[in-house]
Amino acid sequence: MEIAIMKAVLEENDDRAREIEGLLKEKKVLLLNLISSPGSGKTTLLEKTLEHLKDKYSIAVIEGDIATARDAERLEKYQIPLVVINTDGACHLNSMSIKNALDKFNLDNLDLIFVENVGNLVCPSEFDIGESAKIAILSTAEGDDKPEKYPLLFRESELMILNKIDLIPYTNFNKKSFYKDLEKINKDLPVIETSCTKNEGLTSWFEWIGQRIKDGGKS
């Protein structure tokens, strides 16, 4: 019985995700799904990105959180279209709630939508939200063993941000074993090393976004 219910939930999720995918293609809007554990730097990366790109592109953000609008409050100063989804305990966003959030935006005027998924290294990877790409973020303080322990996210993502590289001297993060493990899981996954607090590596991230918009965005 439980299996049947789960199957139905996933099927409905996938149907809605295909609708979103079609809509985004038609409107030439890029939707980037940011996935990581709590605290690895998703909101900080968004702050830096909005600071740098908000005048160049038309950007909106969907903030997914179990409770509160605290991350959205951090982004309010950029005066961009912003929707908060409180999942009320659920550990991931689903495509039904993303569709409702998209209805609040004018897609004809947008180039790019960021989704900050609920902080969790497991569940958000299992729910397709019709995104253009999943972006995995891992911070060095979480340990170099995480790709091997939570492989799905690193298999499904099109880009990985390795954040908090400024903390490497204070941790036992071993870059060599990190890259060795990652190669076993997804050898084609590009990695950008960043420090959001020290403004390192962010130019490569902005260029990656620019290239994706060039490839599939509004001309």
User: What is the contact surface with Mg ion in residues (CB under 5 A)?
Assistant: 42-43, 71
Q: How far is the CB of 61 from ligand GDP (least distance, A)?
A: 12
**119 near ligand GDP, rule: CB under 6 A:** yes
Q: How far is the CB of 3 from ligand GDP (least distance, A)?
A: 32
CA 219 to chain centre: 24
**40 near ligand GDP, rule: CB under 6 A:** yes
Residue 69, exposed/middle/buried by CB under 10 A (0-12, 13-18, 19+)? middle
Binding residue for ligand GDP (CB under 6 A) from 24, 29, 31, 43?
Answer: 43
Q: Cβ contacts of residue 152 below 8 Å, gap of 6+?
A: 122, 125, 126
Binding residue for ligand GDP (CB under 6 A) from 9, 15, 25, 38?
Answer: 38
Stretch of 22-30, 49-57, 154-162, 193-201 lying at the interface with ligand GDP (CB under 6 A):
193-201
Q: Footprint of ligand GDP on residues 53-112 (CB under 6 A)?
A: none
> Is the CB of 119 or the CB of 130 nearer to ligand GDP?
119
Instruction: Tell me which residue of 49, 59, 64 sits closest to 107, measured CA to CA.
Output: 59
Measure Cα distances from 213 to 83, 106, 132 in Å.
22, 18, 11
**49 near ligand GDP, rule: CB under 6 A:** no
Q: Give which of ligand GDP, Mg ion, none residue 109 binds (C-beta under 5 to 8 Å, depending on kind).
A: none
Q: What are phi and psi of 188, to 5 degrees?
A: -95, 5
Q: How far is the CB of 67 from Mg ion (least distance, A)?
A: 13
> Is the CB of 119 or the CB of 217 nearer to ligand GDP?
119
3-state secondary structure of 34: strand
**166 near ligand GDP, rule: CB under 6 A:** yes
> Sheet harboring 133-139: ordered strands across?
82-86, 59-65, 112-116, 30-35, 133-139, 159-163, 191-193
Question: By the criterion CB under 6 A, which residues form the site for ligand GDP?
Answer: 36, 38-44, 119, 163-164, 166-167, 195-197
